[in-house]
Amino acid sequence: MAGHGHGNDASGSGHSHDHAAGANARSLAIALALTGTFLFAELIGAWLFNSLALLSDAAHMFTDAAALGIALAAIRIGQRPADKKRTYGYRRFEILAAAFNAFLLFAIAAYVLYEGIQRFLDPQPVGSIGMLVVAGFGLVVNLIAMRVLAGGRHESLNVKGAYLEVWADMLGSLGVIAAAAIIWATGWTWVDALVAIAIGLWVLPRTWILLRDTSNILLQGVPRGVDLDEVRAAIATAPGVASVHDLHLWSIAGHDASLTAHIVIDLAENEQDLRARVADRLIEEFGIDHLTLQVESGEASCENAAHL
């Protein structure tokens, strides 16, 4: 019986990776400063002009700021090496922060939806001109942030996620601008509540997806997009493998996959060659390059069969 670990070494590209990470961190920091500053301005505008749509859009902009902050922290903290207490390093910080963000956003969306229904029943005056000015500045901020993040969205999943958040908030700003224009032209203050509810309902499904994915990672679930039965079949059908059991597949930070498994082989097989074949197949077909395979002979497998 023997164990074997297999992984790819990317140290040769460490300098270019560090340079890209530094550039992405700067872009995220600039976008976070823009978004965070305007978030407070939008909250003040929502209070001054009594606009629920601005408050709802501020909640959405909060998710932008949180996503940018999480992405920036993930780069900073994720670069810390593993230590004696955290052998996997600090990459899971991103997942914990994202889960907290999801819970908080659920609470904000629930308040906006409740308040929106109340305003439908009892419409309140809204400062449409001030609302229009604030939303217009929000649109400009989103466009600048998108421009700053555009260069790194193809290199980093963190930056890509932040870019998409800002892009979605830009649409929210357009919705508030449209609501302000309609209220100014017609006096229909209920449009403010309508847009607020629409933004809240738009944010909720994305928040649920975020909470679902983070929960799956924290529960050591199989990474999204990977079929465990297909992985099991790929191992079991490799030449020389008799069976596989005690198969575990999980993710540390959502963009990676780790695997451990016991594989039963014939006595005539060379263990090192077989492990290499299985590892190469898992890398090629599923992108799983952090794996540990424990090899057992056919005689020893009877005791472990119950673990299937």
Q: Tell me, what's the pLDDT at 97?
A: 74
Q: Are both 17 and 103 inside the same structural domain?
A: yes
Q: Tell me, what's the pLDDT at 307?
A: 45
Q: Are both 196 and 276 inside the same structural domain?
A: no
Asked if the structure places residue 5 within a domain, the reply is: no
Q: Tell me, what's the pLDDT at 15?
A: 45
Q: Tell me, what's the pLDDT at 306?
A: 43
Query: How many Å apart are CA 47 and CA 160, to the nearest integer?
Result: 32
Query: How many Å apart are CA 46 and CA 115, to the nearest integer?
Result: 13
| Residue 294, domain CATH | 3.30.70.1350
Rounded to 5°, angle at Cα 213 from 18 and 25: 20
Q: Tell me, what's the pLDDT at 76?
A: 75
Q: Tell me, what's the pLDDT at 157?
A: 55
| Lookup: tokens for 264 | 């039963």
Domain end, chosen from 218, 252, 274, is at 218
Q: Are both 186 and 294 inside the same structural domain?
A: no
Domain end, chosen from 218, 249, 273, is at 218
| Residue 18, domain CATH | 1.20.1510.10
Angle between helices 52-78 and 93-121 (to 10 degrees): 180
pTM of the model: 0.68
Q: Tell me, what's the pLDDT at 298?
A: 62
Q: Are both 202 and 248 inside the same structural domain?
A: no
Q: Are both 180 and 292 inside the same structural domain?
A: no
- The count of domains in the chain is 2
Domain range holding 79? Answer: 12-218
Q: Which amino acid is at 213?
A: D
Mean pLDDT, 10 residues at a time, the chain of 308 residues = 47 45 74 86 86 80 77 73 78 76 77 80 82 87 85 63 74 85 89 82 79 87 90 89 90 84 80 87 88 76 46
Q: Are both 209 and 253 inside the same structural domain?
A: no
